[in-house]
Amino acid sequence: MATDEIGLVVRDLTVAYSGVPAVRGIDLDVPAGHAIGLIGPNGAGKSSALLAIMGAVPHGGSVQVNGEAVDGLAPERVVRRGVSLVPEGRHVFAGLSVKDNLRLGAVGRRSSDGVAETLDYVVTLFPILAEFRDRQAGLLSGGQQQQLAIGRALMADPDILMLDEPSLGLSPTAVDSVFDALATIREAGKAVLVVEQRAEFTVAFCERTHVLHDGVITMTLKPEDATNVQVLTEAYFG
């Protein structure tokens, strides 16, 4: 597979719930080694877009992973094609240890080879997960749980990592450490698609950030737009 084929290509994606449109035809290109942002107000359709890519809600349009269509596949098969989602609200298994949460992440791997190497990579990225490996996940702080949720997603050895509001409810320091980790993950050649509410932060971090309003991309911002209050305000309030 050519390197330029690694990544996610979405065309004319639509999602509707009981006939009511939530995503109305969006295009996304998330190449290897890039982070692409998706921002927008509550109810804009951000989570629906991620769930549709995962095959967790029915969609129209097309989703290609590493050059191959995944439309109509169940989420676990989409994971095996190389896509991992860190869901909104983290959803770690609170009663299980850190180690067991990570082990469950490995269930979605394309190959059972290399689990130990991936685990090494994850604990290098998030050393706290090694330190607290036997602790119940529910006893970790919010920031640590987010690190665990990202680590668990990485255990599936994805080419494409999608995150739904990873900074939600975290302290500023915890947000910084999440984005530092995302920078390292991007540098390692993964394709990163991040949904966020923190516009300024996301626009500064991502190569491109799309603004979603009522299911439609209304604007695409570059890192230099992050300091332009007028552009950011327009992006949110139109």
Q: Which does 120 bind (CB under 5 to 8 A by kind): ligand ATP, Mg ion, none?
A: none
The CA angle 48-71-25, to the nearest 5 degrees, is 50
**Positions in the binding site for ligand ATP (CB under 6 A):** 17, 22, 40, 42-48
Angle at 190 between CA 165 and CA 126, to 5 degrees: 65
Q: 47 or 167, CB closer to Mg ion?
A: 47
Nearer to ligand ATP, 136 or 218 (CB): 218
Q: Which amino acid is at 157?
A: D
How many Å separate Cα 94 from the centre of its chain?
A: 21
Which CB, 14 or 101, lies closer to ligand ATP? 14
Minimum CB distance to ligand ATP, residue 222 (Å): 22
CB of 124 to Mg ion, least distance (A): 30
Task: Give the nearer residue to ligand ATP in terms of CB position, either 42 or 111.
Answer: 42
Locate tokens 């799309």: which residue?
210
Question: Footprint of Mg ion on residues 35-64 (CB under 5 A)?
Answer: 46-47
Contact residues: Mg ion, CB under 5 A: 46-47
